[in-house]
Amino acid sequence: MNHQEWVRRRRALTREMGPGTLAILPGAHEKIRNRDVAYRFRQNSDFLYLTGFSEPDAVMVLVPGRPEGEYLLFVRPRDRLRETWTGRRLGPEGAIRELGADQAFPIGEIGQILPGLLEGAQRIYYTMGQNAEFDLEIMGWINRLRERSRQGVVPPETFVSLDPLIHEMRLFKSAAEVTEMRKAARISMAAHRRVMARIAPGLHEYDVEAEVLHTFASGGLEAAYGTIAGSGANACVLHYVDNRDLLCAGDLLLLDAGCESEGYASDITRTLPVTGTFTPEQRAIYDLVLAAQEAAIAVCRVGHHWNEPHETTVRVITQGLIRLGLLKGPLRELIRDRAYEVFYMHRAGHWLGLDVHDVGSYKVDGAWRELEPGMVLTVEPGIYIRPGLRGVPKRFQGIGVRIEDDVRVTRKDPDVLTAGLVKTASAIESVMQNRGH
Ligand code: GLY
Ligand code: MN
Ligand code: MN
């Protein structure tokens, strides 16, 4: 992404903060997986959004209007020995040179430098409760300033959470962000296509995951979340990530998999017949979920609010379940009593961006938020009929279907970032039956 993108974001934030303020934003630390093995590092998304910096143990400070510079970074110092083991570090000079910081210091010096900056600010933007150790450190610095108030030191009076400001900005995706999301979508679609070309009875769910990760890695990207490859009744477990079981003829495979590009996620679900052909019951459920999804995508427009896609899926799914004889009663009452929740127990989607379940408020002043150009959301209704569900004919039991696409709200029609991936039952069957093996 172009350097100007981060400059623009920091400028927008400092403008919102106003004079006499200071923002503190710590980045993420490495997390231990077991003993001395760390998980692969992933930067905190807010920090990434404002700095583009993906090393651990850094802190960003913004001081609007400060003559010596508004943008400060505290980073890991250069260290020849450590860099030999774990790779290159940018260091303070690199942070100025490559990230455009006005000033940068080794992270170990933050305790000498930050208290002096706090002294000059009336209002501090900092989000408490995410990093207990750092919360205590900041409190310690503030208390020391308070102790010196008789010497004329004026400690900051107001603490404000920084999250809402950044999260409101992150909700609206710029052209550069949409470019990254399209790239993530492109590679994620390729992963789903690879699976469609290869699944067959006798493979395992982990083989499916392997195909997905192969595509992500060979595109230079990483998974944005744990791949869900649930076959048969495993498709009814919403966050199934064990991916251990055998794919059997006659089963469906629910595949929820997406990668991230520069941190921007894609989130796609397709549900495929393992043999390439849906049974009549699978097809009936599939077509119903698809009808709900398409009706919901159609209302991802300016002039509709956040909850309308969800309400649409509830209406279409409840009607369809009545038609199939799986729900009995008047439509209005079944919706009012949420009878559909036995089959459809999650919401129709979420904001999508640097986090797969992205930030941004869903309500404003108690009312569902209006959809606006630049917002990106998923639309992902599902129907899950767990085995043994009472009152349901046996032939429907164990069927789980979800269909998920990523949708950008524009001034005109919804822009489906993942529209290039086949979705109707007949198109999926046709792709799978023409695989040539
Ligand atoms: N992949 C997580 C979700 O669909 O929300
Ligand atoms: Mn999702
Ligand atoms: Mn998903």
pLDDT mean across residues, the chain: 97
Catalytic option among 9, 167, 192, 350: 350
Lowest mean pLDDT among 137-151, 230-244, 398-412: 137-151
238 lines ligand 1 (CB under 6 A): no
Mean pLDDT across the stretch 288-293?
A: 98
Q: How far is the CA of 226 from the centre of ligand 1 (A)?
A: 9
Handedness of CA 315, 317, 323, 328 (dihedral sign): negative
Mean pLDDT across the stretch 147-171?
A: 94
Distance CA 247, CA 22 (A): 55
Q: Does 234 have pLDDT greater than 90?
A: yes
Sorting pLDDT into bands at 50, 70 and 90, what band is 149? Answer: confident
Residue nearest to atom 3 of ligand 1 (CA): 267
Sorting pLDDT into bands at 50, 70 and 90, what band is 120? Answer: confident
Distance CA 191, CA 177 (A): 21
Of ligand 1's listed atoms, the one at least distance from the Cα of 380 is: 4
Residue nearest to atom 4 of ligand 1 (CA): 267
Ion ligand 3, residues whose Cβ is below 5 A away: 256, 267, 404
Mean pLDDT across the stretch 210-224?
A: 98
Give me the pLDDT at residue 352, please: 98
Q: How far is the CA of 346 from the centre of ligand 3 (A)?
A: 12
Mean pLDDT across the stretch 322-334?
A: 98
357 in catalytic set: yes
267 lines ligand 1 (CB under 6 A): yes
Q: Does 68 have pLDDT greater than 90?
A: yes
Distance CA 192, CA 268 (A): 8
Mean pLDDT across the stretch 245-262?
A: 98
| pLDDT digit string, tens, across residues 300-318 | 999 999 999 999 999 999 9
Q: What domains can you pick out in the chain, each with its CATH number?
A: 3-169 (3.40.350.10), 172-433 (3.90.230.10)
Q: Does 437 have pLDDT greater than 70?
A: no
- Give pairs for 90-95: CB < 8 Å, separation 24+: 90/53, 90/55, 95/53
Give me the pLDDT at residue 307, please: 98
Quick one: which of 77, 84, 66 has its CA closest to 120? 66
Q: Does 218 have pLDDT greater than 90?
A: yes
Distance CA 278, CA 284 (A): 9
